[in-house]
Amino acid sequence: MEWLFLVVSFVAVLAAGMMLTRQNAVHSALFLIVNFGCVAFLYLMLDAPFLAMVQVTVYTGAIMVLFLFVIMLLGAETTTDTSGRMRWLGFVGTALAILLLIIFAFPLASNMLNDETTHQPDAQARIRVINAIPGGDAQTFTVMDMGRAMTLQETVRGNVLLDPVSETSDDTRLDGVIYEYGREAARDYIEVAAGDYTVIVGVAGRDFESAPIYSQSRALEPDSAHSILLFENAAGLVDVALLEDDISAPAVGKMRLTLFNAVTDKQVSLVDVGQYSARSTLCDDSACGSLIPHRALIEQLPAGEHISLELEAGSYNLALVDEDQNVLRTLAAYEAERGMIETRVLVREPGVPGSQSSYRAAVFNTIGAPAFGSPEAVGQVLFIEYVLPVMLVGMLLLVALIGVIVLARPDALAQAERRRVNRRRRVNRPLVSVISQQTGSNVLSGDYRAKLTGGADDPAGD
Amino acid sequence: MNPIGAEPYIVLSMVLFLMGALGVLMRRNAILLFMSVELMLNSANLALVAFAREWGQVNGHVFVFFVMTVAAAEVAVGLALIVNIFRERQSINIDDLQQMQG
């Protein structure tokens, strides 16, 4: 990476230098295009792909073409060099610029070698509730935090609500909005101040502190994200797990898949079976002496545990298998999109008792924030936080447009003026008709012409 | 993924900015002068993007966007001015534009 940066920056500086020293303006413009291209490349290296494309289209595409147009339109490739008198100023200026550069670059360079820049911590933690209980009767549970007086009321079966339940006086509601979800839904992350919390889950309407389903103290670190996952255990009771989520952007070209095993009596493995076939087992023969070719992605995930992995973007045929190599669930033609963060919870479908259990990998997508520097991220900031400046810049462009038209107009006006003057100078009637009126004879008639050429009769004497 | 910090980018942007400033000061061709200004704006943009990456804030990218917009407007108006000046005096040498000299 370092060598790439060095090469690109060297080319950029070289192109800038060539641009400054060329006498021919067209050459300068072409070198400037090279420089802009290098800067676009550096934008790509700085995780700003959108700006890189804008740089190429706007700068190297539009602005430089405008420059080249004007240069060639004017035919002003070279100008008379009048800087000869002050040539020593150039050398002094260059020396001063290098001096300034050294003064500024030294602290930066020493910084580069010494310390890592410490970022301002974002003292916010994120938490959400995932309801992974298969549908059924509505039953209200409440997730409640006692430490910070945060209350979340969740209807586990059916809709998910956010409503304060506790009537305590110092109850600070985080959010008054009521969210409605179907079953197997995840709430968006909400931001809470980082700190120590006690997460208590209980049935709404009951006394939390005496009979909670779940109660655990957890320090929510800044920038961390947690999920309160509600699921059904083997006994059919609601169980709760508090997971720490990794919401950082996945590596480039990958997605992150988090699998939670909510089937309490099985250990599951996630395997990539390659070619899809509707098999119910990974065994190749009845005695399970050999397995069909597969690639294990997650091995033997115990119940109530979760694990994350990063998958290369692409299409997969995945299968969730238990410890006896029985396929619990296939995920055929699973599309792994780059940058996606997905949480899957393997749950047992509520079925007819006694029949074969079926399983489902309930999906809870969380694309936390769009990837840094992507068009989505830039667009969101641009059109939400900076709407007014966008409007003002649009106005500025309009003013510039009108200004250019006005600037280009005087010449056109002068031409119109000249045309008007020309029209006024033109005589209304042909000159010959004026003469014939004044002389009283038709100058265009043949006899007049004959007289002019030495004819006998004088029409004026008649 | 990217092991390079922001500092090399800042240094590069300073180098490019100073080159642009030197161009503005030393060249006499008005079009080249404009190109040097573009070079300076670009180096400022590079610094903004580097800082945006360093701080993990997209706001820097938004500023770059605005700078590009303003640069486009500036170039359009500036080139229209240059065309007018060239029509007037058949030269775009800025040393020829002395009538406002006090």
Identify the band that residue A125 occupies on the pLDDT scale cut at 50, 70 and 90: confident
Give φ, ψ of A269 to 5 degrees: -125, 145
- Residue by residue, DSSP assigns B60-76 as HHHHHHHHHHHHHHHHH
A187-191, A208-212, A231-235, A410-414: segment of lowest average pLDDT: A208-212
CB contact at 8 A, A119 and A216: no
A88-92, A111-115, A218-222, B26-30: segment of lowest average pLDDT: A111-115
CA A65 to chain B, closest CA, distance in angstroms equals 11
- Residue by residue, DSSP assigns A385-442 as ITHHHHHHHHHHHHHHHHHHHHHHHHHHHHHHHHHHHHHHHS-SS-HHHHHHHHHTS-
Nearest CA in chain A to B64: A51
What number of other Cβ atoms are within 10 A of residue A382's Cβ? 19
Provide the CATH number for the domain around residue A66: 1.20.120.1200
pLDDT (0 to 100) of residue A140: 47
Identify the band that residue A148 occupies on the pLDDT scale cut at 50, 70 and 90: very low
Query: Residue A81: its chain B contacts at CB < 8 A?
Result: 28
DSSP strands (E only) in A182-338: 185-186, 190-193, 195-203, 214-220, 225-232, 238-245, 254-261, 268-272, 295-301, 306-312, 314-321, 327-336
Q: Is residue A186 part of a domain?
A: yes
Nearest by CB: A70 against B20, B64, B83: B83
Q: What are the sequence ranges of the domains in chain B?
A: 7-96
Q: Are residues A141 and A234 in the same domain?
A: yes
Nearest CA in chain B to A389: B66
What number of other Cβ atoms are within 10 A of residue A174's Cβ? 18
- Topology of B7-96 in CATH? Helix Hairpins (1.10.287)
H-state helical runs in A155-242: none
> Per the CB < 8 Å rule, is B84 touching A25?
no
Contacts of residue A120, defined as CB under 8 A and 6 or more positions apart, other chains included, come to: B55
Nearest by CB: A82 against B7, B10, B28: B28
pLDDT (0 to 100) of residue A165: 37
Compute the average pLDDT of residues A208-225: 69
Give the single-character DSSP code of A76. Answer: -
Query: Residue B80: its chain A contacts at CB < 8 A?
Result: 403-404, 407-408
Q: Are residues A178 and A261 in the same domain?
A: yes
Chain A to chain B Cβ contacts (< 8 Å): 222
Query: Residue A248: its chain B contacts at CB < 8 A?
Result: none
> Per the CB < 8 Å rule, is B42 touching A5?
no
- Residue by residue, DSSP assigns A81-134 as --GGGGHHHHHHHHHHHHHHHHHHHHHHHHHHHH-PPPPPP--EEEEEEEE-PP
Nearest by CB: A66 against B4, B75, B95: B75
- pLDDT 10s digits, A76-124: 777 665 555 667 777 888 888 888 888 887 877 777 666 554 444 446 6
CA B102 to chain A, closest CA, distance in angstroms equals 20
Is residue A162 predicted with pLDDT exceeding 50? no
Q: Is residue A220 part of a domain?
A: yes
A153: containing domain: 124-365
- pLDDT 10s digits, A338-348: 777 888 887 77
Which residue, of A22, A44, A78, is where some domain finishes? Answer: A78
pLDDT (0 to 100) of residue A167: 35
Q: Are residues A248 and A357 in the same domain?
A: yes
Q: Are residues A39 and A172 in the same domain?
A: no
CA A9 to chain B, closest CA, distance in angstroms equals 7
Q: Which of B42, B57, B74 to mutate to test the interface with A (most CBs of A within 10 A)?
A: B42
Compute the average pLDDT of residues A294-316: 80
Work out the mean pLDDT of chain A and round it to a whole number: 72
Compute the average pLDDT of residues A198-221: 64
Query: Residue A9: its chain B contacts at CB < 8 A?
Result: 8, 12
Is residue A35 predicted with pLDDT exceeding 90? yes
Query: Residue A369: its chain B contacts at CB < 8 A?
Result: none
pLDDT (0 to 100) of residue A119: 45
Q: Are residues A194 and A292 in the same domain?
A: yes
A178-182, A397-401, A435-439: segment of lowest average pLDDT: A178-182
pTM metric for this prediction: 0.56
Identify the band that residue A286 occupies on the pLDDT scale cut at 50, 70 and 90: low
Top pLDDT among B50 and A457 is at B50
> Per the CB < 8 Å rule, is B7 touching A55?
no
Q: Are residues A188 and A70 in the same domain?
A: no
- The tally of domains found in chain A comes to 2
Q: Are residues A72 and A188 in the same domain?
A: no
Q: Are residues A67 and A200 in the same domain?
A: no
Query: Residue A16: its chain B contacts at CB < 8 A?
Result: 16, 19-20, 39
Q: Are residues A189 and A40 in the same domain?
A: no
> Per the CB < 8 Å rule, is A404 touching B25?
no
> Per the CB < 8 Å rule, is A79 touching B12?
no
Query: Residue B39: its chain A contacts at CB < 8 A?
Result: 16, 19, 32, 35
Q: Are residues A190 and A280 in the same domain?
A: yes
The pairing of strands A314-321 and A150-157 is unpaired
| Position A73, amino acid | L
Q: Are residues A33 and A131 in the same domain?
A: no
CA A225 to chain B, closest CA, distance in angstroms equals 18
Which residue, of A54, A78, A102, is where some domain finishes? Answer: A78
Query: Residue A381: its chain B contacts at CB < 8 A?
Result: 58-59, 61-62
User: How far is A277 from A268, CA to CA, in rounded Å?
Assistant: 19
Is residue A451 predicted with pLDDT exceeding 90? no
Identify the band that residue A434 occupies on the pLDDT scale cut at 50, 70 and 90: confident
Tell me the β-bridge partners of A130: A186, A229
Is residue A68 predicted with pLDDT exceeding 80? yes
